[in-house]
Every structure is written in C-alpha cells, then in structure tokens.
C-alpha cells in the first residue's frame, strides 16, 4: 500500500518515445494549433529558494501528539489491511471473481485510510474547477462533499507537484465510490517493502523497472489482465512526467526539450509519451481524464516539495492552505493513436496548455472554468473507517468463540 513518499514517484521516464517538434493549441484541446499566448512560454522563471525551517511550525508538544496518534492509527490500519489480505488468499482457489471482489475490498479500505488521514490530520479546502468537457460530471452533495460521474473504466493523468498528488487522485475515485478499483504504476523498488510493498502487490498495482525492454511485456500483461475483467471497474492513474516537479526534474526536462527541439514549460515537466501511448493502445477506455493540480502556499517559481512534505502535512500540521484542481477530459476517438509521433505531439500540446493554466493560477490565485466547486476531503459516513478493522475483528471473534466452544466440549 503506497504510504511512503517514494510511492507517489511514479516513474515513466524510461518510457520516452520517438518525438517530434510541436506548437501549442487552445485550452479546449481543439486544433488547428494556435501559438501559446501565455507568458509561461516566453519567460524563464527565477526559481524561489526556500527552507522548510523558515515556515511556521506548531508547538513541539502538539507535533509530538500528532505524530504519535498518526503513527498508531496508520500502523494499526496497515497491519489490519495486511491481515485481511492474508485471510483472503484461499479465496483465489475457489473463485477468481470472489477473489477480485475481495482485493477491491482491501483497496477500498486503504482508500478510506487515506481519506481519514487527510480529514483528521490535515483538513484542507479543495477547489475543483471543471471545463466544458466535464461540466455536470462533478457535483456537490447536500452535505458539501464532492460527487463525480466519470465512469467505471477510465485513465487518469495529472501533473506531479508533490508526493500527496496520488492521495488526492485516490480521493477522487472515492467520490465515485470506486476507490477499490484504482490501479497505479509504481517503481519496482517499492515492490518488496515490508507490509507496504506486499500490500501493493496484492492490489495488483503495476511495477516498472525504468527499462522499456523489461517493462513492455510486464505492462502489457497487467493491462491485458485488467482489460479482460470488463465487468469490473478500473481506474488507471499515470503521472506522465515520471517524477515530481523539482529542480533536478527541470534540468532533465530542459535537456529533453533541447535534444528534441521542444518548447520548455515553466510550471511542469515535459511528459514522456511512450508509457501513456502504450497504455491507451492496450487498455480500451472511452475517456482520458486530465487533472492540473496546484497548491496554495507555493509561489510562482517555487517547488511544492520545498513547502509541503508528507511529514509537514500530517505530523507538523502544516498542510497547504487549499488544493486547486482543474479537470477536463478527452474522448478516446479524439486522441491520435495510429501513430506514436502524432500522439507525442498531441501530449506535448496538452502539457503546454497545463503550463498556461498554472501561469494563470499563479497570476490570479485560481483556475477558471465552466463550473467550480468548493469542498474538502472527508468520508461520507464516519463509521466507514470501521471497514478497515472489520475482517480481523470478525476473525478474532470467531476464533474466540471456537476456542471457548472447544474448551467447553473437551470438559
């Protein structure tokens, strides 16, 4: 289960494809191509240095209390989910569908843990903006929660600012009650992390080695397996940039841009197309959903990781003042999948549009769109968190009853 920072560092950098030069197109994704009008395309930012030590902190005692309570809760939840997974292994011998449902149940449990972590230790307002392509698909419930209607089988992509990005994407799946149906592409090094890595393997997450000659067959097998289960929902999450937005990432992105003659963005890294192209070719979904994420408190020219880490968010009580999301979607039929070079060109255009969206965000403090929703990460019902402990509790109860019955009968 992805709980440590490296989990979110979804690496697709090894999946770089053959490339072609491009120019940018309008935000709505229509062609023909129009020139980029944003200042982001012509101004090289002077990056803003900062130090976590310079940011305000809560009193040490309060931080210690937060740390202890968080560790107790999170550790107990992880062990409970691992134990639930262990108990469910025999189901695989009797029914593939039953086992699939059981796996999804454990993924649901971890999705609930993530939502609870944020709700209890890092309550943060979330501002969701929809463009015309997703208007009406994201609504607000009577009690102020976000509800989505994206569909049961989709691909999600997003820019990668900080390590909490994947957490908010999993929460989006929760808003459609499909938090047990998400699949994430991860670095292979996380596969054998005790408890956490074992849990991720059970979730059927996809592990990549960063070497395409090794990853191609592995990725294809995973996608074929997911595609065969057509009667099961599946949300596949990919960060095409391959890593989060840092100075090192910018340096690599700049080299990539110079090598292939691409225009260099200011607020995102250039995406690597081969992994996403391969996924779209081998995983038939009606729509590709795209999210642009920004965090209030990170200035223009700053790096999110310098201001917000998992430790500062959950242990120190210093989450972003708010999280901003801009959502749009692209029908599969509108994406050029017959030629990888054309797809590369298409994806680079979309990423320059993201750069423009972020430039406008830094200038205005918000995204613009057809609809906007103010909400927060929280559970639909408080008792949902009991699901995490339900199976182990039932097992212990049954063992206790059986033990007492055996003692009674033996006497």
The per-residue DSSP string of 196-247 comes to HHHHHHHTT-EEE-S-HHHHHHHHHHHHHHHHH-TTS-EEEEE-TTSS-S-H
Contacts of 328 (CB under 8 A, 6+ apart): 29, 130, 131, 133, 134, 289, 290
**What pTM value is reported for the model?**
0.85
Q: For residue 79, what pLDDT is reported? A: 95
CA distance 285 to 267: 29
Contacts of 319 (CB under 8 A, 6+ apart): 122, 123, 124, 308, 312, 313
Q: For residue 55, what pLDDT is reported? A: 54
What Cα–Cα distance (Å) separates residue 19 from each residue in 240, 340, 343, 344, 347? 15, 8, 9, 6, 11
Kindly tell me if the per-residue pLDDT of 25 is higher than 80: no
Give residue-wise pLDDT tens across range 27-39.
444 443 333 344 4
What Cα–Cα distance (Å) separates residue 352 from each residue in 155, 358, 364, 372, 380? 20, 10, 18, 22, 36
Query: At residue 99, what are phi and psi to the nearest 5 degrees?
Result: -65, -40
End-to-end CA distance of the chain: give it in Å, rounded: 45
Tell me the CB-side half-sphere exposure of residue 199, using CA atoms within 13 A.
24
Give residue-wise pLDDT tens across range 346-399.
999 999 999 999 999 999 999 999 999 999 999 999 999 999 999 999 999 999
CA distance 310 to 184: 19
Give residue-wise pLDDT tens across range 371-381.
999 999 999 99
Would you say 272 and 240 are in contact if contact means Cβ atoms under 8 Å apart?
yes
Q: Quick one: pLDDT band at residue 310, thresholds 50, 70, 90?
A: confident
Kindly tell me if the per-residue pLDDT of 103 is higher than 90: yes
**What is the share, in percent, of the chain residues with pLDDT greater than 90?**
58
Q: For residue 20, what pLDDT is reported? A: 35
Give a three-class secondary structure readout of 28-69: CCCCCCCCCCCHHHCCCCCCCCCCHHHCCCCCHHHHHHHHHH
CA distance 337 to 10: 23
Kindly tell me if the per-residue pLDDT of 131 is higher than 70: yes
Q: Quick one: pLDDT band at residue 58, thresholds 50, 70, 90?
A: low
**Mean pLDDT value across residues 271-297:** 94
Of 104-108, 196-200, 256-260, minimum mean pLDDT range: 256-260
Closest C-alpha among 299, 223, 229 to residue 267: 299
Q: Which element (helix H / strand E) includes 327? A: strand 323-331
Q: For residue 217, what pLDDT is reported? A: 87
Q: Quick one: pLDDT band at residue 213, thresholds 50, 70, 90?
A: confident
**Residue for token pair 């029908």:** 331
Q: Quick one: pLDDT band at residue 247, thresholds 50, 70, 90?
A: confident
Eight-state DSSP code of residue 321: S
Closest C-alpha among 13, 25, 17 to residue 350: 25
Q: For residue 50, what pLDDT is reported? A: 56
Contacts of 11 (CB under 8 A, 6+ apart): 187, 208, 210, 242, 243
Of 52-56, 214-218, 261-265, minimum mean pLDDT range: 52-56
Other Cβ atoms closer than 10 A to 228: 9
Compare 7 and 336 and report the one with higher pLDDT.
Answer: 336
Give residue-wise pLDDT tens across range 66-79.
889 999 999 999 99
Q: For residue 171, what pLDDT is reported? A: 97
- On average, the pLDDT of the chain sits at 84
Kindly tell me if the per-residue pLDDT of 120 is higher than 50: yes
């Amino acid at each position: 289960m992805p709980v440590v920072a490296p989990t979110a560092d979804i690496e697709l950098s090894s999946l770089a494809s053959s490339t072609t030069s491009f120019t940018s197109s309008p935000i709505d994704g229509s062609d023909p191509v129009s020139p980029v009008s944003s200042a982001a395309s012509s101004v090289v930012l002077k990056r803003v240095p900062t130090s976590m030590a310079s940011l305000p902190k809560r009193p040490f005692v309060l931080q210690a209390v937060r740390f202890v309570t968080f560790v107790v809760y999170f550790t107990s939840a992880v062990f409970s989910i691992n134990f639930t997974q262990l108990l469910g292994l025999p189901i695989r011998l009797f029914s593939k569908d039953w086992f699939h449902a059981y796996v999804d149940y454990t993924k649901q449990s971890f999705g609930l843990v993530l939502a609870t972590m944020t709700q209890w230790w890092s309550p943060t307002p979330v501002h969701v903006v929809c463009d015309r392509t997703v208007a009406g698909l994201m609504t607000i419930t009577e009690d102020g929660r976000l509800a989505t209607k994206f569909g049961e089988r989709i691909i999600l992509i997003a820019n990668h600012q900080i390590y909490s990005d994947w957490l908010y994407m999993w929460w989006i799946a929760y808003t459609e009650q499909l938090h047990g149906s998400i699949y994430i592409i991860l670095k292979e090094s996380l596969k054998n992390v005790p408890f956490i890595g074992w849990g991720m393997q059970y979730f059927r997450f996809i592990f990549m080695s960063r070497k395409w000659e090794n990853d191609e067959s592995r990725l294809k097998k995973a996608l074929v397996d997911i595609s065969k289960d057509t009667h099961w929902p599946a949300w596949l999450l990919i960060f095409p940039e391959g890593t989060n937005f840092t100075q090192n990432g910018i340096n690599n992105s700049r080299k990539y841009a110079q090598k292939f003659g691409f225009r260099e963005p200011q607020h995102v890294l250039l995406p690597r197309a081969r992994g996403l192209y391969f996924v779209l070719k081998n995983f038939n979904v009606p729509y590709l959903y795209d999210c642009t994420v920004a965090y209030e408190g990170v200035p223009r020219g700053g790096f999110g990781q310098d201001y917000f880490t998992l430790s500062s968010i959950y242990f120190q009580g210093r989450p972003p003042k708010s999280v901003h999301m801009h959502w749009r979607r692209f029908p599969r039929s509108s994406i050029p999948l017959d030629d990888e070079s054309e797809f590369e060109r298409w994806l680079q255009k979309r990423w320059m549009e993201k750069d423009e969206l972020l430039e406008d965000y830094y200038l205005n403090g918000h995204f613009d769109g057809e609809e906007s929703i103010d909400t927060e990460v929280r559970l639909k019902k408080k008792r949902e968190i009991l699901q995490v402990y339900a199976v182990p509790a039932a097992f212990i109860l049954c063992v206790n009853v059986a033990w007492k019955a055996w003692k009674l009968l033996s006497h």
